[in-house]
Structure 1
Amino acid sequence: MSGLRVIPTWRHGQERLYVCLPDGRNIAWYDREAARVNLLGDDRRDDVLEALAPFLTGPVAVGPPPVPTPAELARLSLHPDDDLAPNRPGEAHLIALDRDPAPAHRLRPDPRRRALAAEQTTGRALDGLDGAGWRTLHSVPLPGGDRIHHLAIGPGGLFALHVLPARRQRVRIAGPLVTLGRREPRPLLHRVRADADRASYALTAEVHAVLVLVGPADTVLAAPPREVRVLTDEELPELARLGGVLKPADVEALHAMARDRNTWLRV
């Protein structure tokens, strides 16, 4: 018996199997997606492969870890307090509700919870694009208290998504005006475009504006919006069919830049 232990972990939706010594130190890990066993030292190669044998699903490459890319080096040097990648969908609402929960008994549901549920629905759909080469950041803070609900980066480009809870209500869009149910029209698309423009400035790259309608009963485009894509939450997987704009290395580099809180301080 080699005494080695295999410990599974998940990171960004991908499984890694770490091989550890009895004292807990890692000496290797198996990346299923890359079909590669990365060895920190060659002296325990046979023992590592023996420990991983029940988990290997086919031929694998074996060798030292690959040299980190510039994007990976940037991520490794990023202070945890400045890393936006761990933000959950609706992070701002979660924090607000934790600090100031709604009264136990109220006549109407707390609108923050509807907004939170809509952003969580959108976030799940976007996170599902990870396997198609997309990276998503949630609740990106901007100076002045604003935020981008979701930022998606992938082969089809960069997209700043603003989420509108529209459960079982008709949405009418006429130019920049958005009418939800029987409410007064609001120039919401000005805000959506402005968020995308701020993201473009911060990332020095073109960012497309997207309005996401979550659960609408009906959508009426009285006047097609300019420079804003309108999607329902069920249509978000359409983004995965877009491509030809960014290479994988560009996606990772932009994601590394966007996840740094300091990137957004200048907008």
Structure 2
Amino acid sequence: MRGLKVLPSGRPGRGRLYVNLPDGQAVAWYDRQTNRISVLADDRREEILAVLRPYLSGTVSIGPPPVPSAADLRRLALPPDEDLAPNRPGEALLGELEHGTSGARARHRLRQDLTAQQRMGEILDALPESQGWRTLHSLGVPGVGRIDHLLLGPPGVFCVLTVPVRRQRVRVGDILLTVGRAEPRPDPRRVRLAARYATRVLTAPVTPVLALVDASRVEVAPSVRDIRVLQSPAVTPYLTEAATTLKPPDVEALFTLARDHRTWRGPGER
């Protein structure tokens, strides 16, 4: 068993568990949805079973992996440090709050943003993977900042920017968004830019979404047609009732590409 490591892939408790050698090469994985262990190195089968045993439940099937798709091959080659799938909602804000030096007012706003992202993340993470939904959180976008949530599923790919509203009125225009009496903020422009970048790197249409948390009233300018403005908790009905545009293999291929941190780096960073 020495040298074998079990590493999670995807959201905690829901993705696969990979058994890797010290150099990061995968020798097996345990799919918790199908309760199956796929073994790549049959000569190490007993070691693999021993290191996975604490994570197993019920009747588990064991055997060689199915013929891998292109997405499977890319995922197997993905170094753990480059995998964005384990990111929690608000991952970047957690780091800022823990290590940042902002003043009390700025930290209060960070906490509000974090709470909103965590609540929206819970809603998106609850969409069933068995029905083809995949979610990533806190993705860095060069020149834009971050995508709070990237949602992939049968209706397509959605770039979600979360807005904490706190029971106030929201007015959404082409360029600016106003919450209550606060200064207008450029969220519509930001989410458009992020969705355009995502469309380019994923080579697939990405819909910009403004997700408003706890809004008392929402006014959207008639000229705003390209951005979806959704309010929690009505996000789920909209998504589950939307028309299907992607097949399961397409969702998996895009998810595999999107979870690779190298996909999002600027040209000078690769």
Q: What per-residue deviation string (whole Å, max 9, x for no partner) do you get for residues 54-103 of structure 1?
A: 9647xx87643323322122112112222111111101100101112667
Partner of 1:171: 170
Cα gap change, 1:83 to 1:38, in 2 (>3 Å): closer
Q: Secondary structure at the match of 1:245?
A: coil
Cα gap change, 1:61 to 1:242, in 2 (>3 Å): farther
Cα gap change, 1:15 to 1:231, in 2 (>3 Å): closer
Stretch moving more, 184-193 or 241-250: 184-193
Q: Does 1:256 align with 2:256?
A: yes
Q: Secondary structure at the match of 1:240?
A: helix
Q: How much does 1:16 deviate? A: 7.5
CA distance in 1, matches of 2:33, 2:135: 19
Does the 8 A contact of 1:173 with 1:223 survive in 2?
Answer: no
| AA of the residue aligned to 2:93 | H
CA radius of gyration, larger in: 1
CA distance in 2, matches of 1:107, 1:264: 31
Cα gap change, 1:154 to 1:15, in 2 (>3 Å): closer
CA distance in 1, matches of 2:220, 2:159: 20
When the two structures are aligned, how many residues end up with a matched partner?
245
CA distance in 2, matches of 1:220, 1:190: 17
Task: Indicate which of 98, 108, 111 corresponds to 2:109.
Answer: 111
Partner of 1:21: none
Q: How much does 1:31 deviate? A: 5.0
Partner of 1:24: none
- TM-score normalised by structure 2 residue count: 0.76
| AA of the residue aligned to 1:171 | V
Q: How much does 1:185 deviate? A: 2.9
Gaps of 5+ in 2: 1-5, 19-26
Does the 8 A contact of 1:171 with 1:181 survive in 2?
Answer: yes
| AA of the residue aligned to 1:161 | V
Does the 8 A contact of 2:173 with 2:188 survive in 1?
Answer: no
Percentage identity across aligned positions? 46
CA distance in 2, matches of 1:65, 1:154: 24
- TM-score normalised by structure 1 residue count: 0.77
| AA of the residue aligned to 2:245 | V
Does the 8 A contact of 2:168 with 2:215 survive in 1?
Answer: yes
Partner of 2:133: 134
Does the 8 A contact of 2:163 with 2:213 survive in 1?
Answer: yes
Does the 8 A contact of 1:90 with 1:149 survive in 2?
Answer: yes
Gaps of 5+ in 1: 1-6, 19-26
The correspondence of residues 48-87 of structure 1 with structure 2, limited to 5 A, is 56=58, 63-87=63-87
CA distance in 2, matches of 1:16, 1:206: 27
Q: What's the Cα RMSD here?
A: 3.5
| AA of the residue aligned to 1:244 | T
Cα gap change, 1:255 to 1:107, in 2 (>3 Å): closer
Partner of 1:219: 218
Partner of 1:198: 197
